[in-house]
Structures are given as structure tokens and as C-alpha cells.
Amino acid sequence: MSQLLAPTNIMDRTLDFHVWLPQITFWLGLVLLVAVVFNRFGTKLGLPSGLLFLALGIICGEDGPLHINFLDFDLSYGAGMICLILILFHAGLVIKIPAMRGSWVPSITLATLGVVFIAGLIALFVKWWTPKTTWIEAMLIGSVLGSTDAAAVFAALVGVHFKGRVRHIVELESGLNDPMAFILVFSLTSIVLGKDMSASEIGIDVLKQFIIGAAAGSLIGWITLLSFRYLPSQETGLYPVRSVACALASYGLPSIFGGSGLVSVFLCAIYLGNSALPLRATIVRVHDSLAWGGQITMFFFLGLLCTPHRLLDPKVLLSGSMLALWLAFIARPVAVAGILLPLKISWRETACVAWLGLRGAVPIILSTIPLLFLGNPDLVHRAQQLFDLVFICVVVGCIIPGTMIKLVPHWLHMLTTHTAAQEEAEV
């Protein structure tokens, strides 16, 4: 009987998918079109694009008109990571090493020690605001919010030109600090689950992941460049396909061996972007489109995960808003000043870098990690509260400092009218 029913069940599922496929494709196309239109008008209004894509996901979500009940954290995490790979790869492709002179040391320091410093300052606030929170949980919240977001930073800085090394430091930092945040969040989640890990073990793990990631990224970039040079494709359209394959492989290989895939992706892209890359303009344009598509997809998925009626809880709103203000006005500036001023970076550049530390979808992705691993109902509830808190913090952070990207640097006299071409020519 089961053998007779099996084909029928398969046929039923096939028919169901056939019925739903036109609706899925229609709504998917409509969402993408609306997202592009949102971005056009949002830019004129000074609103960060990520906030608009997030709002679109919320509108389509559980409490929106479409009532899509979407709570698949595994799928959201996986989709978010693939989107982040595409975003980081494009970010690395457009970075020019000669223009980064004097920016590597401050950027790497901010991307490593800076993340830990900011996480600690956030933990202090969380522990003061909610004394019942344990130090490990407070540090977990700090680690989730400790890194800047490459998608948010690169999108916000389009068409904005700064004096000095501000832009280069912020861009490099945003591309390099995600791995540190991921390592800390995974480590602290393991500790919450009961695994004993010392600070020295976490430090060794960080060093190992960065070394393996850097080695893998350089190796895959070199192999990809050789393939472009000695195994050229007859079809122009296959060159971007090869670069996408490189981006995905540069994440997967080091991850298999315990390294940081995100470090590998970013450094691999920098290697290729500063090499004699065939059809460079075509490849960069394709990855620019993929990065925008990744950003839309990432924010939209995270918007679907949001439950507005739960976020509108006054306690959640107040806690998330206060945490965002602490991060923007205290934690980030203090950490950046403590790192950059001893490196003899001017106070104007330091203040500008501090203000441009934008948060975006990455902290929300990071906040889903505890939900993926926690099985205890009480711990799941607390992990859900973490997700809600981070969500509010990111939304408020998109407004402050997100909507004042040009205003504060203008007050600091750090904006310039030079075009990107002029700046590159000067270098």
C-alpha cells in the first residue's frame, strides 16, 4: 500500500509546487522591483537602503498585509551568509592597495581589538541596564553588535568623499571585522551551552582562523588568476561565472579546515582586484549587481523574521534604542579613539571614523546563531529576546548615525569635492 501511495504523494507535491510557482515568481519579481524603487526614493530622502529593504520584509511578514509566517532561522542564516559572501567579494574587488597606504594597521586593529573593545563596552551597558543578565550573555550581545557592516558602509559612502584616510580605514575595517565578530559569537554561544573555553583558547582560535583564511584566500585568488590567464573562456559571459565560483570556493575551502571563510573571501577579492584581471569592468559590474541583490535579499529575509507586535513591546523598544545610542555616542567613539589616537591619526579623522561605524544586516544574522544551537526552551526565549533587541538597535542605528553620514563629517570639515577619479590620480 505504501508503495502505491508514494507516487501519488510525489505527484501531489509536484502539482502543489506547480500551482504555487507562478505566485512565487510574481511576488519575488514584485518585491525586487519595489526594493529598487524604494532605494531610489530612499536615497533622495537620506534613508539608508538597508532600512528600506528591511521595512519591505516587515511589510510582507507575519504582521504585514501578506501575513507570511516565516520563522526559518536556518534558511535565513544560510541565505544571509551567501549574500554576505557576494557583498564582501565585490567590496574587495574595488579596493585599490596603493590607495590604502597608511590604512592597513589602523583598520586591522579596529577589525580585531576594536571589535573586542566595543563588545566589552556594550556588555558594561547591558549589565548596568539589566543587572540580571550574566556577563557571558552581556558579552554575547556586545559581540553581536561589535562589528560594522560592509554592505551598509559601502552603500552609504557611495558618492561621498573624505579628506585623509577616513574612507579607506572604514572600508577596510568593515570588510575585515565580520570574521572577528562571528568567532566571538560562536565561542560565547558555546560557553552559554556549557562548553568551557578560556580567553587564551578563543585568542588562539581567532589567530588560527585569520591565518588559514588569509592563506586560502591568497591561494584561491592566485589559482583563479592563473585560470583566467592560461585557460581563457571563449564566451564573455563565463568570466563573471568563474569569479562567482571563486567567491564561493574561497569561503568554503578555509571553512572546511577551520579557517575564516569571510577573511578568505575579502582578501581573495582584493588580490584579484589588484591583479591584471581580464574583462575587469564586466566582472566588477556583475558583482556590483550581485552585491545589491545580496543586500536586498539579506535585509528582506531578516525583515520576514521580524515580528512587529513583539518588537513594539515598550521594554524592547526602550532597551534597543538606548543600546543603539550608547553604541553610537559612547562605545564606538571611545573604542575608536583608544585605538586610532595612539596611532597618530588626527582627532578629526578619528571622530569621522567613529561616526561612520554603521550596523546593518550582519548583527541580525549574528543574533540568529544562538537560535540555531539552543534547544532549552528557556534559553530559546532569551535568544529570541536577543534577536529582538539587536533588531531594534540596528533599526535605530540606521537612523542615527545612518541618516547623518554627511552631516557630521561636514561639521568636522572632513568632506572634499574631489571625485573618486581625481583621488585615484593623486595617489
Q: Cα(122)–Cα(265) distance, rounded to whole angstroms?
A: 28
Going residue by residue through the chain, which has 427 residues, state the pLDDT in tens, using 9 for 90 and above. Answer: 334 334 445 444 444 545 566 766 777 777 777 777 777 666 565 566 777 778 778 877 776 666 667 767 778 888 888 999 999 999 899 888 888 888 899 999 999 999 999 999 999 999 999 888 888 889 999 999 988 888 778 777 877 888 888 989 998 998 888 888 888 888 888 887 777 777 788 888 888 988 999 999 999 999 999 999 888 888 888 899 999 999 999 999 999 998 999 899 999 999 999 998 888 899 999 999 999 888 888 888 888 877 777 777 888 889 989 999 999 999 999 999 999 999 989 999 999 999 988 877 788 888 888 777 655 555 566 777 788 888 888 888 877 877 788 888 889 888 887 554 444 443 3
Q: Report how far apart, in Å, the C-alpha atoms of 163 and of each of 149, 301, 419 are.
A: 22, 36, 12
Q: Cα(117)–Cα(184) distance, rounded to whole angstroms?
A: 12
Q: Cα(386)–Cα(145) distance, rounded to whole angstroms?
A: 11
Angle at 182 between CA 395 and CA 399, to 5 degrees: 15
Residue 393 grid cell: 538597535
> Nearest-CA neighbor of 270 among 83, 81, 97, 82?
97
Give SS3 for 178. helix
pTM for the structure as a whole: 0.83
The full set of domain ranges for the chain reads 71-426
CATH class of domain segment(s) 71-426: mainly alpha
Looking from the CA of 318 toward its CB, the CA atoms found within 13 Å total 5
> What φ, ψ does residue 372 adopt, rounded to 5°?
-75, -25
Q: Cα(394)–Cα(327) distance, rounded to whole angstroms?
A: 10
Eight-state DSSP code of residue 71:
-
CB 85 within 8 A of CB 150: no
Residue 165 grid cell: 584616510
The residues that bridge with 415 in the sheet, in sequence order, are: 162
Burial class (CB in 10 A: 0-12, 13-18, 19+), 25: exposed
Helix (H) or strand (E) holding 238: helix 238-256
